[in-house]
Structure 1
Amino acid sequence: MEQARRRERRGPGRRRGIWAVVLLGLGALLIVEVGWGGLLFTKEYDLRSVPGPSMAPAHPSGSEVWLERLAARDVARGEVALFAPPASWGVDADLLGRVVAVGGDRISWAKGDAALTLNGKPLVEPYLKDPAVPAVVPFDVTVPEGRMFVMGDNRVDSADSHIRIADDGGSVPMSAAWGVAVGTPTGLLVAGAVALLGVPVLLTGGGLGIASLVARRRAARAL
């Protein structure tokens, strides 16, 4: 009978203690492991403010754009890249532009053309701010290997490759691009939310641990 009473007195504290250990471990795991994973994830992405109106309407001036950092690959045709312009352009800041041609491509435009011509075919560009203005200056360029031809979606307000034909044919080294525009990286947001969830879990575990300790001491004094 006495042993049953002792178990009854110790039971609530013991159960709380078990839950405390479980929640403390889970909370620490969420904060450390998931939070660390989210930190590593941020090294692959960067959030930047769009510098100027050249990429409207997809990326208006002052809006924010997520960029995936480039590692061991070139920028693909059609992607929007953030790149360091050549010194001859006289621009100190990074620029955001759409890659319309890459090494080996021939791209051109003549007055009166309804679209740019890429490798002998009209280039479909649904992203243009004004489809009636695919360019403002005539050009005809074959892009050297390892380089890219970059233009803004807002062609009437974009000092891009087709305006810089006198500078190496307007092309830019692929190595000058360090990031490409992507949608919001949901994995990063989920990792952050899960890591934050670990905080109340950890606090709950700590509270249960204290409650368990108090219950055990009371039970010990009652013996």
Structure 2
Amino acid sequence: MRRGRGLAVTAWVLGPLGLVLLLGSLMYARSAYTTATVRSGSMTPTYTVGERLFVERVGGERIRRGDVVLFSEPERYGSAGSVIQRVIGVGGDRVACCGGEGADERITVNGKPLEEPYLQGGVVDETHRQYDPYDVTVPEGRLFLLGDHRLNARDSRYFLDDHGGTVPVGVVQGRVVGHRAVPIALAVTGMLGVPVALAGVGFGIAAFVVRRRSRAVPPAPPWAVQQV
């Protein structure tokens, strides 16, 4: 009986634990992350057309400079759906194009040159530097966004007459996860829940069998003699 009780306790521990790991991971991943497909070359070479990205669901108030965000701004982009661009300036920042010449050309943020190793071909902003330079102070609660492929991105530079080209933080749907460690870890945790739950079922069956055997009355041996 003790052995059966131990198996039953193990089953009650492993079964629910496996379900918690499986369902908890799935529910958290579903609520905390989503995915997006790159549909244009505006973020080349960082992300390529057709690439599938993990996006962490965070509010715009948690976004920082350098983050790549998924946002929706139908008044600008029509039915194009969500857009992926990089945050260059947040509320209170002064973003200006451009300082320096040639290879030393840089966008400045609060007067400091911005290092951008992710740029396509190293081109900072050739068109706007020559013909339409800008100097924008980002309003509070808004973001100044640019694509990494500056010659192929329709970003804040093209809407300067609308709040300096910025977008409200409220349109942000999430932040692109540069590494997939967290989503993969959640998936692995959820997968581990399956064998743990199955092990719980196995121990439960074993406990049932042991208890049933212990309760069974053994038959009398054929040589037993009833005394009169």
Q: Same fold (TM over 0.5)?
A: yes
RMSD of aligned alpha carbons: 2.6
Tell me which amino acid in the other structure corresponds to 1:216.
S
Tell me which amino acid in the other structure corresponds to 1:134.
V
Aligned to 1:134: 124
Q: CA deviation at 1:29?
A: 2.2
Tell me which amino acid in the other structure corresponds to 2:191.
A
Aligned to 1:194: 192
Cα distance in 1 between the residues matched to 2:146 and 2:37:
18
Aligned to 1:38: 25
> Which structure 1 residue ranges, 5 or more long, are not aligned?
1-10
Return 82-91 or 98-107, whichever deviates more.
Answer: 82-91
Aligned length: 208
**Cα deviation code 1:100-124 (max 9, x no counterpart):** 1112222122495622122222110
Instruction: Compute the TM-score of the two structures, normalised by the length of structure 1.
Output: 0.80
Cα distance in 2 between the residues matched to 1:65 and 1:110:
31
Tell me which amino acid in the other structure corresponds to 1:47.
T
Tell me which amino acid in the other structure corresponds to 2:141.
G
Greater than 4 Å deviation, 4+ residue runs = 110-113
Cα distance in 1 between the residues matched to 2:86 and 2:211:
63
Cα distance in 2 between the residues matched to 1:81 and 1:26:
41
Cα distance in 1 between the residues matched to 2:50 and 2:113:
32
> Which structure 2 residue ranges, 5 or more long, are not aligned?
221-228
Aligned to 1:119, which of 110, 125, 133?
110
Aligned to 1:203: 201
Aligned to 1:220, which of 217, 221, 227?
217
Residues 121 and 176 from structure 1, CA distance in 2 versus in 1: closer, same or farther, beyond 3 angstroms?
A: same
Identity %: 32
Cα distance in 1 between the residues matched to 2:72 and 2:37:
15
Instruction: Compute the TM-score of the two structures, normalised by the length of structure 2.
Output: 0.78
Q: CA deviation at 1:38?
A: 1.5
Aligned to 1:107: 95
